[in-house]
């Protein structure tokens, strides 16, 4: 199963974060609209990501709900009909909740840097260090921590869990 090391944090100044990420990636980033539907499951998380253009991905992932760098293992299956798949999975598993966001994706080395505007939550960033087979988790964590410093992300802004968890706990935009 592929894996990555992830960090998620609240962003107080999205324009400043975007500027730093653009400088480091030497690009303005790519805008991606996403509507994620989370389904009930006994372990990990299952979500259907609808890209709002007729394509999507069914994603299963497991990761600890801790702040700071953490290992995430995942499986992804593309779909050309996310709407009908959403109906089937809703009936079979039940819906846990939905997350709607606009994501600005920057690529910096082996890391996917996301600047997310999440409906009902506000602005967040995610770092996903895509692990190479020969890399240790500690090496991935070091890549994430180094990039966190370059992007000006403080340890105090780190958050645990998924956006779905924050929405279910009643977190609001600030």
Name the band, by pLDDT with cuts 50, 70 and 90, for residue 2. Answer: confident
Tokens read off for 172: 């609001």
Q: What is the pLDDT of residue 174?
A: 56
Q: What is the pLDDT of residue 173?
A: 72
Secondary structure string (H, E, C) spanning 58-102: EEEEECCCCCCCEEEEEEEEEECCHHHHHHHHHHHHCEEEEEEEE
Greater confidence (123 vs 67) lies with 123
* Domains of the chain: total: 1
Say what the pTM is.
Answer: 0.92
Full residue range of the structural domain in which residue 124 is found:
3-171
Tokens read off for 39: 């389904």
Q: pLDDT digit string (tens) for 68-94?
A: 889 999 999 999 999 999 999 999 999
Q: pLDDT digit string (tens) for 130-155?
A: 999 999 999 999 999 999 999 999 99
Question: Rounded mean pLDDT of the chain?
Answer: 95
Q: What is the pLDDT of residue 1?
A: 78
CATH number at residue 14: 2.40.320.10
């Amino acid at each position: 199963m592929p894996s990555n090391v992830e960090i998620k944090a609240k962003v107080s100044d999205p324009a400043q974060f975007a500027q730093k990420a653009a400088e480091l990636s030497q690009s303005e980033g790519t805008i991606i609209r996403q509507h994620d539907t989370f389904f009930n499951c006994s372990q990990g998380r299952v979500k259907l990501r609808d890209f709002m253009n007729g394509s999507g991905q069914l994603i299963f992932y497991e990761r600890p709900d801790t702040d700071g760098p953490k290992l995430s293992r995942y499986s992804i299956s593309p779909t050309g009909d996310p709407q009908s798949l959403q109906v089937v999975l809703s009936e079979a598993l039940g819906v846990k909740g939905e997350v709607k966001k606009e994501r600005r994706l920057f690529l910096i080395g082996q890391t996917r840097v996301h600047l997310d505007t999440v409906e009902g939550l506000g602005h967040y960033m995610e770092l996903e260090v895509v692990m190479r087979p020969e890399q240790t988790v500690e090496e991935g964590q070091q890549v994430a921590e180094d990039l966190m410093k370059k992007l000006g992300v403080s340890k105090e802004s780190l958050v645990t869990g998924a956006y779905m968890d924050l929405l279910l706990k009643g977190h609001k935009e600030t």
